[in-house]
Structure 1
């Protein structure tokens, strides 16, 4: 087994809310986070403000957990939705949470917003959260880490229950035209888990999950991995980086768009760092072993 290196990221758990943009749009909050029309308008305005190549949705890391029964504080024009209170007090209870229903609620509105933006010709990155980030909304982290030490088989079942739901969300997003999906789980990074537990998560869940993602996305939808996930895969010898030639020097965001349909995964840089320059016209793709 190799050594997992950490990726120092200044964007951990950041959400795409800019007070200047929200003020100009004259939207009512938190109502604007609840409906596809206002979600799409806000996403497009943020894209223009940031000089980005694509739109991003949603504006928080709580959509998946809410769709499984999580309780959310919807925030305001300054701060997006966030966890309000835990719905589980024991890891065993997580296995009884309902499946995501993509036909209703905020998760449905997110999908409709993605569809509307795609129909307008926009590229859309759907930000999908990993298990630890979802768990942060559902249960106190102290119970998660205790169970990982004392009941590893139970937590493996929990990870896969969440993983199956995440994968269903990704597949549903494809039906709405989403061409890029960002997968991040910074709440389960090396600096939080430690080397031994981080390796175990890759072995028990991350690698197998991403192999399923690779199969289901069929090379048509690009998955943008958080570099923390990329480094975990590299450090456990579960992946390697390959060079892919671009049409010319490019920002990272533009390069990702160019790679849609050409590879399954990229992950050398945080997708929030959209203006990261690839001066040599080469982007690193992630090949799972």
Structure 2
């Protein structure tokens, strides 16, 4: 087996905005994070500020946790939505949470914003969180590790629950026209879980999740993996690199747009690193075993 290595994340989970964007859009915060039309305005403003080739939604990693019943502090223009108070302390409480209803709440507004932006001709990156990032909104991490250690079967049931939800979210995203899905779970990285648990998570959750996504994903959609996830798959021999020659040096985000339809997974760099350049004109895609 290959050795699992970590990727050092240098980007915050809460994106937030800036005084410049707040003034440019004249939107009021935190209300701007709650309705589809204001989110679409913000996404376009951020795209223009960053000279990016796509719009990005949402502006935090609390969306799924809130949709499952989590309490959220919506923040302001400087700090985006973030977790407030935990609502669970046991595995049973997590397992008893109802399925996400994608027709109501902020998650529905995000999907509406995605649909609007796509209809306006924009490429749209939708950020989808992994299970540990979602649980970070719902339960104190100390309880998660306790469940893992004392009741691995309950932990597997929890991960099965979140795998089902993520697959449903991917399908809803595609219905809304989303053509770029970014997946990350930094809270469940090697540096936090440790090698033994990280390997176990790949075996029972990450690899099965992406095999299911691979089977159902449209050719017009690409999944942008957080490098932490990529290296976890590579380090457990569940994936390998496969090169695509771009023909010319290119910034990583632009390259990800260019190869839509040629592969289903990329993940050599964080998509938020807008200036990372593929100087040799080759982008590494991720081919699952």
TM category, shorter: over 0.9
Residue equivalent to 2:56: 56
Residue equivalent to 1:109: 109
Distance 1:12 1:80 in 2: 10
Report the secondary structure of 2:84's partner residue: strand
Structure 2 residue 240 is matched with structure 1 residue 240: yes
**Contact conserved, 1:100 with 1:165, CA < 8 A, in 2?**
yes
Distance 2:90 2:32 in 1: 34
Q: Give CA deviations for 1:163-217 in whole Å, capped at 9, x if unaligned.
A: 1101101110101110000000000001101111111110111001110111111
Q: Give CA deviations for 1:50-80 in whole Å, capped at 9, x if unaligned.
A: 1111100000011111111111111111111
Q: TM-score, normalised by structure 2?
A: 0.98
Unaligned runs of 5+ in 2: none
RMSD: 1.1
Structure 1 residue ranges, 4+ long, deviating more than 3 angstroms after superposition: none
Unaligned runs of 5+ in 1: none
Alignment of 1:1-289 (within 5 A): 1-15=1-15, 17-289=17-289
**Contact conserved, 2:16 with 2:77, CA < 8 A, in 1?**
no
Change (3 A) 1:250 1:14: farther
Distance 1:182 1:18 in 2: 22
Report the secondary structure of 1:32's partner residue: helix
Report the secondary structure of 2:228's partner residue: helix
Report the secondary structure of 1:85's partner residue: coil
Change (3 A) 1:83 1:6: same
Q: Give CA deviations for 1:14-73 in whole Å, capped at 9, x if unaligned.
A: 425233212321111111001000000001000100111110000001111111111111
Shift of 1:219: 3.1
Q: Give CA deviations for 1:82-108 in whole Å, capped at 9, x if unaligned.
A: 111111111221111111111111000
**Contact conserved, 1:58 with 1:110, CA < 8 A, in 2?**
yes
Q: Give CA deviations for 1:216-245 in whole Å, capped at 9, x if unaligned.
A: 113331000000000000100000001011
Distance 2:213 2:11 in 1: 24
**Contact conserved, 2:29 with 2:76, CA < 8 A, in 1?**
yes
Shift of 1:266: 0.1
Distance 1:9 1:163 in 2: 23
Distance 1:152 1:12 in 2: 30
**Contact conserved, 1:18 with 1:46, CA < 8 A, in 2?**
no
Shift of 1:153: 1.2
Shift of 1:134: 0.1
**Contact conserved, 2:128 with 2:182, CA < 8 A, in 1?**
yes
Change (3 A) 1:33 1:14: closer
Report the secondary structure of 2:65's partner residue: helix
**Contact conserved, 1:16 with 1:46, CA < 8 A, in 2?**
no
**Contact conserved, 2:40 with 2:117, CA < 8 A, in 1?**
yes
Q: TM-score, normalised by structure 1?
A: 0.98
